[in-house]
Structure 1
Amino acid sequence: MSGRGGGAPRERRERREPPPPGLLVVDKPAGWTSHDVVGRARRLVGTRKVGHAGTLDPMATGVLVLGVERATKLLGHLALDTKTYLATIRLGLATDTDDAEGEPIGHPVDATGIGDDAVAEGVAALTGEIQQVPSSVSAIKVDGRRAYERARAGEEVRLDARPVTVGRFDVLAARTEGPFRDLDVLVDCSSGTYVRALARDLGAGLGVGGHLTALRRTRVGPFTLAHARTLETLAGEEEQQGRAALSLDLDAAVATAFPRRDADTEEAASLAHGRPLAAAGRPGTVGVFGPDGHVVGLVADDRGAARPVLVLAPAGT
């Protein structure tokens, strides 16, 4: 007998329970886009509900923060406005993307005569509150399209300078590579700062051109490489345990990223229903934890009360 009702029943795939909510901090490998990492993470933790906080260039490695399940709602509230990078700047050649993946602009210039004092002066000019023109291959939108899409299509891209803060720009080591002068640097900066643009502007200021040859993000907000694991490590966990473990569960993520406020049973229930609490008396967003030690939500003082910014524990849980 044939047809839908005949034959052996189809074998059903075993459905896994969704993972708990939390953050997965990945040490992104070179050559992967942030979207690539999200796709891989979905398979490793066993859920489609994975998103990333900010992006990291394909050529870059290092800290990429992912939200899993309910913690995806947390991503837009994390204070990821400061970042730390280790980078290598090559003096002696500019490229059309301000990094090693671009095409050279002109011919190499002998940069071996650039001394430490000149480099220090150039770095000092790019430290503090500065106006920076983003790279033409940035993700900034120009008339509805990403700048890098327009640049790679051969269009001329002009971006306006914008204020950024470079809190620290230290030269850790310098060496000569043929006609080039390579600088290993550490950069602490505000969100929206392009380290590629720092390389470009340093080289331009020294009159020899410059571009970025390596970039590694070691910190974004409160999350560092100490929280991060490689995709290979996560894949090994998935193979052994059936699922890669989170870096921080939801409670630990909120405790790491926000000041803590402990609530009693009545306050926790009110916040779970979306009602405001008594003012916390401090600026910014605060994580509220119930008597059981689990996070209830985020609040911020406004008009004399601590009003809900995000409820993470629905009423009745």
Structure 2
Amino acid sequence: MLFVDKPQGLTSHDVVARARRALDTRKVGHAGTLDPMATGLLTLGVGPATRLLTYLVGLDKTYETTLRLGVATTTDDADGEPIGAPDPAALDAVTSARLEQGIRSLTGEIEQVPSAVSAIKVDGRRAYDRVRAGEEVALAARNVTVSAFTVLDVRRHATGIDVDARIDCSSGTYIRALARDLGADLGVGGHLTALRRTRVGPFPVSGAVQVDDIASTALVAPAEIAARLFPVLSVSGDQARDLGHGKTLALPATSADAEPVAAVDAHGRLVALVSVRAGVGRTLVGFPQEVAG
């Protein structure tokens, strides 16, 4: 696995392409797209470790962001065209108490309509491709959880109000949509001007490398990643071989039922993710030990 601190201006695919060149392999994928304007933690799978990405996509995340209240945009962020113009009187009506109330309404379990300029597929095509082609796109609301929406700073200026915030949320939450909905609730419009992902599950951006520093020495062993996410089952060489051949494992009857469990061999290698039920281990996903090329 590889953790990269994506800079502004690059797409997630750009980072994948750089990793493929730097590591001399086509077997690179990512979990959790970041828009070009966004920075921060991008998780990449390399070689057999791409099989772990499924389990990383759904992890909760932390973002640090700046929301600008005063005008909406066509993309809900600073890359879009303004919709309307700031209304000084309406902005004056956004008191600290009213702002706090608006943020509370967007905290907890909420129904959110994703931004139309998103990677969600509509009839086989990405929503953002349809919007850029001039189509009207209406996406269905989805349940998401904003577990914390913490205001770090509020700055008022002639054309708007900038709100710096730290947001902890479930996978699938659109921070741009939070800016849009907060602005709409306050009657002034809103969009995103800065976004940085600082955490994915138990993995902080402080452990990531810069794009120019991508190298094999920056790779994190799949077993280390799996051990941060799942219970660990130590397996012998014979058991590892059996799992590799798709056989079940007979485990002590006292083994707790769990799924998935990381089966790790004596060399510290991730052999498989397994399901443990009634003292029997069955392979869910195997991890070949050959080097990807």
Q: TM-score, normalised by structure 2?
A: 0.91
Answer yes or no: is the 8 Å Cα contact 1:273–1:314 preserved in 2: no
Which of 15, 24, 28 pairs up with 1:46? Answer: 24
Relative CO higher for 1 or 2, CA cutoff 8 Å, sep ≥ 6? 2
Match of 1:226?
206
**C-alpha deviation, 1:74, in angstroms:** 2.1
Which of 260, 263, 284 pairs up with 2:235? Answer: 263
Distance of 2:59 and 2:92 partners within structure 1:
36
SS class of match (2:62): strand
Paired residue type of 2:222? L
5+ residue gaps, structure 1: 1-22, 235-242
SS class of match (1:87): strand
Residue deviations 1:168-209 (CA, integer Å, cap 9, x gap): 111111111322110001111111110000000001111111
Distance of 2:2 and 2:221 partners within structure 1:
9
**C-alpha deviation, 1:112, in angstroms:** 4.5
Higher gyration radius (CA): 1
5+ residue gaps, structure 2: none
**C-alpha deviation, 1:222, in angstroms:** 2.2
Answer yes or no: is the 8 Å Cα contact 2:57–2:171 preserved in 1: no
**C-alpha deviation, 1:95, in angstroms:** 0.6
SS class of match (1:31): coil
Paired residue type of 1:275? K
Q: TM-score, normalised by structure 1?
A: 0.84
Distance of 1:79 and 1:37 partners within structure 2:
17
Answer yes or no: is the 8 Å Cα contact 1:32–1:58 preserved in 2: yes
Paired residue type of 2:193? T
**C-alpha deviation, 1:278, in angstroms:** 4.0
Match of 1:58?
36
SS class of match (1:269): helix
Answer yes or no: is the 8 Å Cα contact 2:74–2:80 preserved in 1: yes
Task: Give me the CA root mean square deviation.
Answer: 1.9
- Does 280-289 or 85-94 show the bigger shift? 280-289
Distance of 1:158 and 1:293 partners within structure 2:
48
Answer yes or no: is the 8 Å Cα contact 1:80–1:220 preserved in 2: no
Which of 125, 139, 150 pairs up with 2:105? Answer: 125
**C-alpha deviation, 1:69, in angstroms:** 1.5
Match of 2:12?
34
1:311 aligns with 2:286: yes
User: How many correspondences in the alignment?
Assistant: 285
Distance of 1:278 and 1:121 partners within structure 2:
56
Distance of 2:97 and 2:257 partners within structure 1:
45
Paired residue type of 2:37? M
Runs of 4+ in 1 over 4 A off after TM superposition: none
Match of 2:267?
292
Paired residue type of 2:282? R
Match of 2:127?
147
SS class of match (2:258): coil
Compared CA separation, residues 173 and 247, structure 1 to 2 (3 A): farther
Compared CA separation, residues 208 and 251, structure 1 to 2 (3 A): same
Paired residue type of 1:167? S
- Does 48-57 or 267-276 show the bigger shift? 267-276
**C-alpha deviation, 1:289, in angstroms:** 1.1
Answer yes or no: is the 8 Å Cα contact 1:112–1:180 preserved in 2: no
Answer yes or no: is the 8 Å Cα contact 1:42–1:48 preserved in 2: yes
